[in-house]
């Protein structure tokens, strides 16, 4: 049985509901959260009103010991975009929720004083937490673990969430977070400081014998995939070197695609050789793609942290041109403690630095002179934003809203649909991943549309077709319906048809986020709709097929898209910032990428939506 825990913070009423039928129809996790969001959140409500609902959903395979099955989605109306908001995180929080007997949580209303929600196996209760209000997330986590039990997994907000910063995150214990789209501000608006969970039960499996076979199959496929070894060695940092070489870095607010000295300061080999101590893994993960790092010399000698993730190095190392890995790690720690999304936080600071460089903002407006690569300025700005002090008040709504208040700054605001753009410049390669920035339903983001045969090496045959970039045998082994393979790759495989792959990439990641697995390449490349349908059938007693699970993913997308349309979304919002259409992108050795063709982007979108509507 799938159980929804309903918590009304206004009345402090707590009750449960059997949602098994909805879980089977919408797959769980992100999918069921999407259904609940559409049904429970009133159209037109303010994201910070008590009518908004905060939804937490563990994936339907979380806690089953499938490889990487530990991820949880948090969904609400976004204070950053005013549209569908969603963030995803792993580790053990969702596992504990399911072991405590719950699958999803719907948090409604608004408390009149700060509270913590405790879920301790079958016991659910609220406690006043005024003494924690104003404290950072690490202090909050420490206090709960010390006074309530070290087994508790803690989701908490810091000062940024309390002060309703539109891109505030929810911290998952110390080093992981539900980062994007401002879920921490929704939590802060409800005066909910933390949700702490502990469980010692087990996840029921409908067909234990069949599921044991599926676990062995999944383990073999994930660990046997060609991407497994390099993902374990470098984690997400694998792409830091090729991004620089092809000129895809978001350098200095998307003005520089390659940075001189990058290989010697911020690339993958430099990081592994100088800082990596050991591999770390989330619950039930054989990949162990995260790292524990230690600084061995210099002013930060003996400092230790979890990382380095490529998001950290691309956001702080490239977008802000911070050349020191210890300073990057410390900047991320500040984001984690304050409860700020790393991507939006770095993007807002990049916006300020370019505005200052171009004299749109003056020292008197900011209080100091922020420069590219200036660690002290970065920390000051993170503090000002979190506490909405000085220039931080203007920046607290994100770059879109800030640009509307600062005359002449609009061209420096790098966002799509109000959500700051991360990681990779689309001018370097306007492929499935880059187009995903436009089409994904939570705004300018890179983690909801990724091709399972993604490659940086392949070029283009024309604007709609990318070179295959992988061996044809890999296409044969790909877990994907045969007719869909032909539509995407041709017969025999000879290319990637980008609009069709855009839809499939969106659907398969929707499935992965709904069942609660990770989208790292060893999973994304080796497990597909046939596998996930069989896994769900054995675990929950469903009767899915690869076709029906893809159809369910399409329905989930439709709910998210309808949610956005209900909130006023128009097709005009599906566009890159003007910089990408107007300015070339400098790369290595006097090379450059031309601006993106606005006409080609429109044609790709037209083809994509035609495919969506046909299905």
pLDDT in tens, 114-140: 999 999 998 999 999 999 999 999 999
pLDDT band at 75, cuts 50/70/90?
A: very high
What's the pLDDT tens digit per position in 337-366? 999 999 999 999 999 999 999 999 999 999
Whether the per-residue pLDDT at 527 is higher than 90: the answer is yes
Q: Check pLDDT > 90 for residue 577.
A: yes
Looking up residue 249, the CATH number of its domain turns out to be 1.10.569.10
Question: Is residue 615's pLDDT more than 80?
Answer: no
Tell me, yes or no, whether 221 lies in a domain.
Answer: no
What per-residue string of b and e applies to 392-427 under the rule 16 or more CB within 10 Å gives b?
bebbbbbbbbbbeebeebebbbbbbbbbbbbbbbbb
User: Is there a single domain that holds both residue 364 and residue 440?
Assistant: no
Residues 452, 498 within the same domain:
yes
Q: pLDDT value at position 457?
A: 74
Does one domain contain both 36 and 178?
Answer: yes
For residue 492, what pLDDT is reported?
92
Same-domain check for residues 515 and 383: no
Mean pLDDT throughout 53-65? 98
Confidence of residue 404 (pLDDT cuts 50, 70, 90): very high
pLDDT tens digit sequence for 89-106: 999 999 999 999 999 999
User: How many domains in the chain?
Assistant: 3
Residue 426 lies in a domain: no
Average pLDDT for the chain: 96
pLDDT band at residue 172, thresholds of 50, 70 and 90? very high
- Provide the sign of the torsion angle of the four alpha carbons 359, 365, 369, 373, taken in this order: negative
Query: Where do we find the tokens 């640009």?
Result: 403
Q: Is the pLDDT of residue 590 over 90?
A: no
pLDDT, tens only, 450-475: 999 988 877 899 999 999 888 888 89
- If DSSP codes are grouped into helix, strand and coil, which group holds residue 165? coil
Same domain, 256 and 320: yes
119 found inside a domain: yes
Contact (Cβ atoms closer than 8 angstroms) between residue 31 and residue 553: yes
Predicted local confidence at residue 589, as pLDDT: 83
**460 shares a domain with 320:** no
pLDDT at 193 over 90: yes
| Judgement on whether residues 188 and 104 belong to the same structural domain of the protein | yes
- Does 376 reside within a domain? yes
The DSSP code for 416 is E
- pLDDT bucket at 332, cuts 50 / 70 / 90: very high
CA–CA dist 564, 173 (Å, integer): 31
> 298 and 408 in one domain?
yes
pLDDT tens digits along 362-373: 999 999 999 999
Whether residue 231 is contained in a domain is answered as: no
**In a domain? residue 597:** yes
Do 440 and 342 fall into the same domain? no
Give the mean model confidence (pLDDT) for residues 468-489: 91
Residues 45, 152 share a domain:
yes
Dist CA 93 CA 178 (whole Å): 11
pLDDT at 279: 93
Asked if residues 343 and 180 have their Cβ atoms less than 8 Å apart, the reply is yes
| The domain boundary residue, chosen from 148, 173, 198 | 198
193 inside domain:
yes
Is the same domain home to 27 and 135? yes
pLDDT at residue 1 in the model: 87
SS3 of residue 3 by DSSP: strand
Domain harbouring 437, CATH code? 1.10.599.10
Tell me whether residue 211 is in a domain.
no
What are φ and ψ of residue 426, in 5° steps? Answer: -70, -15
Threshold 0.95, pTM exceeds:
yes
pLDDT for residue 318: 98
- Residue 523 and residue 391 share a domain: no
Q: What is the CATH number of the domain that holds 189?
A: 3.60.9.10
Domain range spanning residue 71?
3-198
User: What dihedral do alpha carbons 249, 262, 357, 428 form, nearest 10°?
Assistant: -20
Torsion, CA 610, CA 481, CA 557, CA 67, rounded to 10 = -150
């Amino acid at each position: 049985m799938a159980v929804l825990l309903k918590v009304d913070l206004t009345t402090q009423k707590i009750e449960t509901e059997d949602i098994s039928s909805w879980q089977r129809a919408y797959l769980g996790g992100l999918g069921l959260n999407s259904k609940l969001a559409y049904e429970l959140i009133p159209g037109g409500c303010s994201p910070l009103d008590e009518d908004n609902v905060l939804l937490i959903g563990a994936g339907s395979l979380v806690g089953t010991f499938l490889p990487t099955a530990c991820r949880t989605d948090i969904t609400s109306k976004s204070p950053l975009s005013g549209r569908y908001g969603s963030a995803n995180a792993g580790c053990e929080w969702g596992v504990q929720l399911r072991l405590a007997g719950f699958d999803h949580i719907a948090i409604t209303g608004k408390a009149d004083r700060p509270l913590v929600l405790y879920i301790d196996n079958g016991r659910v209760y609220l406690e006043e937490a005024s003494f924690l209000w104003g404290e950072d997330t690490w202090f909050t986590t420490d206090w709960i673990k010390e006074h309530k039990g070290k087994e508790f997994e803690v989701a908490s907000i810091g000062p940024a969430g309390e002060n309703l910063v539109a891109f505030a995150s929810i911290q998952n214990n110390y080093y992981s977070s539900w980062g994007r789209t401002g879920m921490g501000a929704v939590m802060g608006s409800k005066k909910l400081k933390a949700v702490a969970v502990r469980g010692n039960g087990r996840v029921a499996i409908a067909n234990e014998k069949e599921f044991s076979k599926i676990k062995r199959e999944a383990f073999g496929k994930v660990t046997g995939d060609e991407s497994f070894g390099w993902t374990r060695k470098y984690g997400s940092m694998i792409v830091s070197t090729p991004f620089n070489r092809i000129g895809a870095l978001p350098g200095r607010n998307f003005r520089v695609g390659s940075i001189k000295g990058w290989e010697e300061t911020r690339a993958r080999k430099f990081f592994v050789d100088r800082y990596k101590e050991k591999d770390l893994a989330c619950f039930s993960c054989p990949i162990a793609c995260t790292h524990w790092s230690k600084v061995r010399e210099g002013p930060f000698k003996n400092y230790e942290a979890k990382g380095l993730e490529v998001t950290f190095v691309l956001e702080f190392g490239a977008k802000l041109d911070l050349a020191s890995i210890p300073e990057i790690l410390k900047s991320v720690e500040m984001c984690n403690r304050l409860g700020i999304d790393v991507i939006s936080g770095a993007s807002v600071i990049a916006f300020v630095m370019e505005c200052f460089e171009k004299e749109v903002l003056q020292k008197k407006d900011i209080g100091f002179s922020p420069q590219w690569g200036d660690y002290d300025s970065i920390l000051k700005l993170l503090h000002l934003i979190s506490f909405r002090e000085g220039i931080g008040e203007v920046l607290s709504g994100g770059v879109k809203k800030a640009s509307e208040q600062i005359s002449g700054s609009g061209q420096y605001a790098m966002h799509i649909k109000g959500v700051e753009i991360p990681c990779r410049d689309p001018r370097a390669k306007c492929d499935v991943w880059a187009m995903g920035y436009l089409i994904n339903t939570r705004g300018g983001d890179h983690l909801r549309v990724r091709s399972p045969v993604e490659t940086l090496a392949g070029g283009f045959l024309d604007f709609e077709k990318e070179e295959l970039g992988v061996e044809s045998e890999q296409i044969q082994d790909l877990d994907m319906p045969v007719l869909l393979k032909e539509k995407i790759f041709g017969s025999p495989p000879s290319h990637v048809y980008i609009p069709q792959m855009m839809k499939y990439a969106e659907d398969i990641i929707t499935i992965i986020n709904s069942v609660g697995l990770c989208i790292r390449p060893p999973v994304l490349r080796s497990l597909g709709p046939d596998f996930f349908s069989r896994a769900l059938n054995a675990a929950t007693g469903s009767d899915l097929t690869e076709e029906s699970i893809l159809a369910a993913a399409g329905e989930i997308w439709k709910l998210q898209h309808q949610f956005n349309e209900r909130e006023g979304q128009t097709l005009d919002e599906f566009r890159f910032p003007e910089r990408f259409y107007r300015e070339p992108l400098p790369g290595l050795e006097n090379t450059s990428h031309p601006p993106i063709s606005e006409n080609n982007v429109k044609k790709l979108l037209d083809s994509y939506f035609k495919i969506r509507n046909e299905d």
